[in-house]
Amino acid sequence: MLKAKLLRRFSWILLTATFFTALIIGSVGRSGEQSSADRAAGLASSIACPQCSGQPVSESNAPIAQVIRAEIKNQVDSGLTDDQIRAFYRTKYGDWVDLNPGNDGIEILVWVSPFLIAGVAIGGMILAFSRRRDADTDNELSDESRKRVQELRTTYESGESHRGQNDRE
């Protein structure tokens, strides 16, 4: 019983540790030093071709997409930050060319809502499990009922043994 409880607790700790390790690697790992070609490729895949239907410039062969790809590379090489480069294309072609949602205003919901929903879901699950455990505890027999069950069992078992003797005779 104790072993099973310990095992269950250990599995929860392991699960939590795995979750947070993945979260940290996912968020911090990316911010490491990137080559300018990687940065340019990343930007090209998140800036929409102004002449196409929401297709990133990295995937479009439209002339303007080729121009933007070449210019993104120049901008990265000239030391502009990702935010400055995105801002440049938003200014020139409108906010919609930035395929990454912003982190202010209503767009912040895109980033926050998954965590919010996950939090509410986990909270709900914890509540549900704790209620079920409480309900299990509530079902335990009272001393009086336990005594009664014991009596019935004794009566039943003695009846069974009598019947066994009769059968043998």
Residue 162 as a binder of other proteins (CB under 8 A): the answer is no
Closest approach, Cβ 78 to other proteins, in A, equals 11
The C-alpha atoms of residue 150 and residue 61 are separated, in whole angstroms, by 83
**Residue from 31, 106, 142, 168 that binds other proteins (CB under 8 A)?**
106
Q: Which of 41, 42, 46, 50 binds other proteins (CB under 8 A)?
A: 50
* Structure-token pair, residue 167: 């059968």
Alpha-carbon dihedral sign for residues 101, 67, 63, 41: negative
Q: Tell me which residue of 115, 13, 114, 136 sits closest to 128, measured CA to CA.
A: 136
Nearest residue (CB) to other proteins, 41 versus 62? 62
Cβ proximity to other proteins, 119 vs 159, nearer residue: 119
Decide: 55 and 98 in contact? Cβ < 8 Å: no
Stretch that binds other proteins, among 39-47, 56-64, 141-149, 155-163 (CB under 8 A): 56-64
Give the residue carrying structure tokens 């409108």.
94
Task: Tell me if 133 contacts other proteins by CB under 8 A.
Answer: no
CA-CA distance, 11 to 122, in Å (whole number)? 16
Assess contact for 82 and 75: CB atoms under 8 A. Answer: no
Which part of the chain contacts other proteins (CB under 8 A), choosing from 34-42, 79-87, 109-117, 156-164? 109-117
Closer by beta carbon to other proteins, 29 or else 105: 105
Q: How many CA atoms lie within 13 A of 105 on its CB side?
A: 3
Point out which residues bind other proteins (CB under 8 A). 48, 50-54, 62-64, 66-68, 70-71, 74, 88-89, 92-94, 96, 106, 109, 113, 116-117, 120-121, 123-124, 127-128, 131
